[in-house]
Chain A
Amino acid sequence: MPEQPAPPSSVPTKRTHRSQLVVAVLLAALGFAAVAQMRLTREDDDYSGQGRESLIQLLGSLSAAAERTQSQIDELERTRGELLSSSERRQVAVDEARDRLEVLEVLTGTVAATGPGVTIAITDPSVAVTAASLLNGVEELRDAGAEAIEINDTVRVVASTSFTERDGQVMVDGVTVRPPYLIDAIGSSHTLSEAIVFPGGLADEIERLGGAVTVEEADLVEVGSLHSIDAPEYSQPTEG
């Protein structure tokens, strides 16, 4: 047994030894208990060590907190419902606006369009076809429900398109187009071809001028040229 330096006491060594042992046992018990308690405190949410009163207080504050939280939940759910219905409405509005946008884009010629329609070729060997004749043909096509029209794959015909003549050459929207003229129109192909070849229509007019008209119905006509639009300078949309 290793001998410790004798503590400052007058008792014999053997007794000192036993006293140290007793102290060691007690300290071991203390360390054990302390560690166990620490572990317990860490494990439990420190409820088990608390008195009845503080537990009741705890319970009260917890149920108050639960009430508050419940009312918050109700409020948030109400808000969520409102937001959901409003976002649904907004989605419908967005869809409608997008549909309208597509229609308007095709009508104003700012996007390329494709669909069934006709391709009309007008030969003009005697250079006698005038802008008025072309405009007449375009008007017939519009009457027949043409949604997108282009001439010679270069000029898109829209509401504001002009047909003019300079030095005997036809200009569409300021762009010179030369014969043979090639008109692509998207719409009901049968109706469109009828609008050209009916007696006294464009076909008859061109043939009287010495040209020839061939109408070809197709399941897929591509209108690829675009018309650029500027924001209106003077007019503004009225409300309502």
Chain B
Amino acid sequence: MIAVFGLALGVLAGLLLEPSIPIALQPYLPIAVVAALDAVFGGLRAHLDGVFDDKVFVISFVSNVLIAALIVYLGDQLGVGGQLSTGVIVVLGIRIFSNVAAIRRHVFHA
């Protein structure tokens, strides 16, 4: 419950404060958000499986975000930033879909 409150609080803060993102961070934020979403869905799935561990969740969350940002940075340096970003998004999307499928099985038993 507290987790859902935190999410709502973050969204609310984002809406109310109208934050401006530093230009240096702007290329990494979208990918980081998607990577964090992947970690969140993974955590939700683990929670439903009964194997949720906060340490694992925190580490996977942070490392997902960092690796995503690193890949984007590396891709930009190598001149393949766009393609690499697309690849990362695709992989993360596939993972999100499979996690959501597992969650769906838990919730709807289907």
Query: Which residues of A are at the interface with B, using a C-beta cutoff of 8 A?
Result: 2, 4, 7-9, 18-37, 39-41, 48-54
Contacts and interface: CB of A to CB of B under 8 A. Distances in A.
A53 B79 contact: yes
Interface in B1-27: 1-15, 18-19, 21, 23, 26-27
Contacts of A26: 6, 36, 57-58, 61
Interface residues of B, number: 44
B58 A22 contact: yes
Contacts of A34: 11, 14, 33, 37
A41 B33 CA distance: 13
Q: Of A2, A8, A26, A37, which is in contact with the most chain B CB atoms at under 10 Å from its CB?
A: A26
Nearest to A15: B54
B66 interface: no
A21 B9 CA distance: 13
Nearest to B79: A53
B43 interface: yes
Given A24-B2, A24-B5, A33 B23 contact: no
B6 A49 contact: no
A19 B7 contact: no
Contacts of B8: 31
Given A31-B7, A51-B76, A37 B81 contact: no
B33 A33 contact: yes
B29 A23 contact: no
Interface in B39-97: 40, 43, 47, 50, 52-54, 57-58, 61, 75-76, 79-82, 85
Contacts, number: 123
A29 B32 CA distance: 11
A27 B12 CA distance: 12
Contact of A4 (B2, B40, B75, B82): B2
A131 B78 CA distance: 111
Contacts of A27: 3-4, 6-7, 10, 40
Given A34-B14, A40-B26, A22 B81 contact: no
A90 B29 CA distance: 64
B23 A30 contact: no
Contacts of A54: 82
B3 A36 contact: no
A31 B26 contact: no
B52 A49 contact: no
Contacts of A40: 21, 26, 29
A36 B76 contact: no
Contacts of A39: 14, 18-19
Contact of A31 (B10, B32, B80): B10
Contacts of A8: 50
Nearest to B43: A23
Given A36-B19, A49-B26, 20 more contacts: A4-B2, A20-B54, A21-B2, A24-B2, A26-B36, A30-B33, A31-B7, A31-B8, A31-B10, A31-B11, A35-B14, A37-B33, A40-B21, A48-B23, A49-B30, A51-B75, A51-B76, A51-B85, A53-B79, A53-B81
B15 A35 contact: yes
B57 A23 contact: yes
A30 B50 contact: no
Contacts of A25: 6
